[in-house]
Amino acid sequence: MRLSRRRPSHLAPLSRRQILALGGTGAATLLLTRCAGMAGRPSRAAASPLNLPFSPIDRTLAEVAPAAFAGEEPEPAHSILWDREAFLASAPAAGEPEGVPLAIVGGGIAGLATAWLLRGHRPVVLERAPRFGGASRGESWRGIDYATGAAYFIRPEEGSPIAGFLDELDLSPRIKTEEDPVVLGGRRFNAFWEGTSTATGAAQIRRLARHFQAVLEDEEGQRFPDIPVRDPARRAHVDALDRRSFSDYLQEVAGGPLHPHAAAVIEHYCWSSLGASMAEVSAAAGLNFYASEFGEVCVLPGGNAAVAERLVDRLVTALPPGHLRPGCLVVDVQVGDEEVLVRYADAAGRLHTLAARAAVLACPKFVAGKILREVEGRRLAAIARLRYRAYLVANVLLAHGVRHDFYDLFLAGQGSAPYADVEAAAVRQGVTDVVLGTWARPQRDRTVLTLYRPLPFDGGRAAVFDEDSYSTFHSQFVAQLEREILPLVGARPADVVDLRLARWGHPLPVAEVGFIADRLPEVLGSPFRRRVFFAQQDTWALPAFETAVTEALLAGPRVTRVLAGG
């Protein structure tokens, strides 16, 4: 759900004093390059996409796509990495090691952003999927680009490092400033946080809304919990929030149990955005996400895949030919005194070796734990604490225009929560978000609806990777679409041209209580033997575009010092 109202004054994951705390003028210079921000300036003409075969946005699909999942494909990675030694013993070698300054493992937002920031060092970026972008991928239909994964990001504070990063890419998102409607028990409420859904709970709902706004703007004695945490003065506050569940915190703010409508809306939001219930999520992570939604939202055609595509297009022209390598599964990383040996299998199963001066693992930590040799016990224990949750996306292609009077129509069930059995409740609910895939660039005669279905329980990954999962989930999407969703937007089943599904088995690290306060991010993010660095959102167990970019911004100066011989 997206509840954006006013522009935030404190959204940048790194404030100016946090940048100074990084130490060294080199770090500050790198992070503050071209921080002109996104302050509503007139957009320059955007470059046409290169439509590369490994672009994050797939524009090759026919009018009706094959009946198969887009998104994550577990094989062959699972079978190879879970029996790595056998694969290494049998795979044919492709030649002698290739010397490179920098190897980056993972071509999602964190990996691509790291490569862009360090493009002067000519990195080689290895991505196991055939297309770059990670969970920030998309597709196209009749000239409409739409997201198959992450759809938006919060408008960054003007002058912040993230604003500067986005400004360099010359992106011109549409900015959403209005509250999105909520559907409870089949009724649509356009101003839920003004208490319009209930007379008895209106005062509490308005009190919660005022609190979220105060947290966002550091007013009324509240402080926004910046994550990643880099300001020592804010760490104690974030740790205190992190030791509590979001549900306990909200009940304290509300002065008692949440009204069922407030509980339902916040619970379903936690499922959708954090992959977990508000009882599992820490107050630090919950506030970071939910208060941010009262700011302004940036939406691009294609969602966050448009950011990934722009990065890929820029990197293709900035790097030597062949330095972006899709379809390459890294299976082994060994660190020596002077180099890092990165071995990867190409699409034909042949084994290649990069001899790099440094490496950045921008892949999930559970993968890093499988491929990196001689990992410390403390780091392995921290990796074991991480849990990942799944979600599904359905894109509904409509040969019919609909009213663009919302960005995200949020479905919050019958208006009650919490649930004794979250898995059963989530299965009953199905889709939580009906996003207008055409909102950033409306079309009169056709529409794409992007439906998000969270699986906020530990068995979700197995469910989406089951061999019969496509037909099962497809039929469930169709049933909810015809019963509930199409009537809400004024469309009919006859308007549906195609229904395309994408699955994501582990894009959402669970921001569980105590993860930050136990100092696990410091363990997960610390360099390994001075030559291997980490840049991924799961360092902080916070599944956000902003986390991924901030991780890249923080890794850049560290890598630069090693490559400069410092």
Residue 406, C-beta contacts closer than 8 angstroms, at least 6 positions apart: 180, 181, 436
Mean pLDDT of 242-249: 98
* Per-residue pLDDT at 34 exceeds 80: no
The bridge status of strand 433-436 relative to strand 153-154 is: unpaired
Residue 235, C-beta contacts closer than 8 angstroms, at least 6 positions apart: 229
Nearest alpha carbon to residue 325 among 61, 118, 111, 99: 111
Beta strands in 11-162 (DSSP E): 57-58, 70-71, 98-105, 124-126, 138-141, 144-147, 153-154
Q: Are residues 273 and 404 in the same domain?
A: yes
* Per-residue pLDDT at 29 exceeds 90: no
Total residues belonging to the chain: 566
Q: Are residues 373 and 402 in the same domain?
A: no
CATH assignment at residue 233? 3.90.660.10
Confidence of residue 7 (pLDDT cuts 50, 70, 90): very low
* Per-residue pLDDT at 549 exceeds 80: yes
pLDDT averaged over every residue in the chain:
91
* Residue 29, H or E segment: helix 25-31
Q: Are residues 151 and 210 in the same domain?
A: no
Helices (H), 129-201: 161-168
Return the pLDDT at 46: 58
pLDDT digits (tens, 9 = 90+) for 318-361: 999 999 999 999 999 999 999 999 999 999 999 999 999 999 99
Nearest alpha carbon to residue 327 among 301, 342, 346, 311: 346
Six-digit token string for 215 = 């947290």
Q: Are residues 540 and 484 in the same domain?
A: no
pLDDT digits (tens, 9 = 90+) for 162-206: 999 999 999 999 999 999 999 999 999 999 999 999 999 999 999
Q: Are residues 260 and 309 in the same domain?
A: no
Mean pLDDT of 274-289: 97
Q: Is residue 45 part of a domain?
A: no
Residue 165, C-beta contacts closer than 8 angstroms, at least 6 positions apart: 113, 117, 549, 553
Mean pLDDT of 264-272: 98
Q: Are residues 373 and 453 in the same domain?
A: no
Return the pLDDT at 11: 37
Q: Is residue 67 part of a domain?
A: no
Six-digit token string for 181 = 């409607």
Q: Are residues 421 and 469 in the same domain?
A: yes
Question: Looking at 494, 509, 524, which one is the last position of a domain?
Answer: 509
Q: Is residue 422 part of a domain?
A: yes
Q: Are residues 324 and 359 in the same domain?
A: yes
* Per-residue pLDDT at 217 exceeds 60: yes
Q: Give the whole-number percent of the chain exceeding pLDDT 90.
A: 85
Q: Which 3 state secondary structure label does DSSP give 139?
A: strand
> 146 near 303, Cβ under 8 Å?
yes
Could you tell me the residue range of the domain that residue 272 belongs to?
Answer: 178-295+388-509
Q: Is residue 66 part of a domain?
A: no
Question: Looking at 476, 494, 509, which one is the last position of a domain?
Answer: 509
Residue 156, C-beta contacts closer than 8 angstroms, at least 6 positions apart: 11, 12, 37, 38, 162, 163, 166, 546
pLDDT digits (tens, 9 = 90+) for 447-478: 999 999 999 999 999 999 998 899 999 999 99
> 269 near 1, Cβ under 8 Å?
yes
What's the pTM?
A: 0.92
Residue 469, C-beta contacts closer than 8 angstroms, at least 6 positions apart: 69, 463, 503
Q: Is residue 3 part of a domain?
A: no
Question: Looking at 509, 527, 553, which one is the last position of a domain?
Answer: 509
Q: Are residues 341 and 370 in the same domain?
A: yes
Confidence of residue 8 (pLDDT cuts 50, 70, 90): very low
Q: Are residues 323 and 188 in the same domain?
A: no
pLDDT digits (tens, 9 = 90+) for 56-69: 999 999 999 999 99
Q: Give the whole-number percent of the chain exceeding pLDDT 70.
A: 92
pLDDT digits (tens, 9 = 90+) for 530-544: 999 999 999 999 999
Q: Are residues 415 and 523 in the same domain?
A: no
What is the radius of gyration, based on Cα positions, of the chain? 23
CATH assignment at residue 166? 3.50.50.60
Confidence of residue 287 (pLDDT cuts 50, 70, 90): very high
Tell me the CB-side half-sphere exposure of residue 184, using CA atoms within 13 A.
22
Identify the burial level of 131 via C-beta atoms within 10 angstroms of its C-beta, where 0-12 means exposed, 13-18 middle and 19 or more buried.
Answer: buried
* Per-residue pLDDT at 74 exceeds 90: no
Confidence of residue 224 (pLDDT cuts 50, 70, 90): very high
Structural domain count, the chain: 2
pLDDT digits (tens, 9 = 90+) for 397-427: 999 999 999 999 999 999 999 899 999 999 9
Q: Are residues 409 and 426 in the same domain?
A: yes
Q: Is residue 214 part of a domain?
A: yes
Return the pLDDT at 17: 28
Q: Is residue 141 part of a domain?
A: yes
Confidence of residue 83 (pLDDT cuts 50, 70, 90): confident
* Per-residue pLDDT at 558 exceeds 50: yes
Sheet with 138-141, strands from edge to edge, namely 57-58, 138-141, 144-147
Return the pLDDT at 201: 96
* DSSP symbol at 481: I
Q: Is residue 68 part of a domain?
A: no
Confidence of residue 566 (pLDDT cuts 50, 70, 90): low
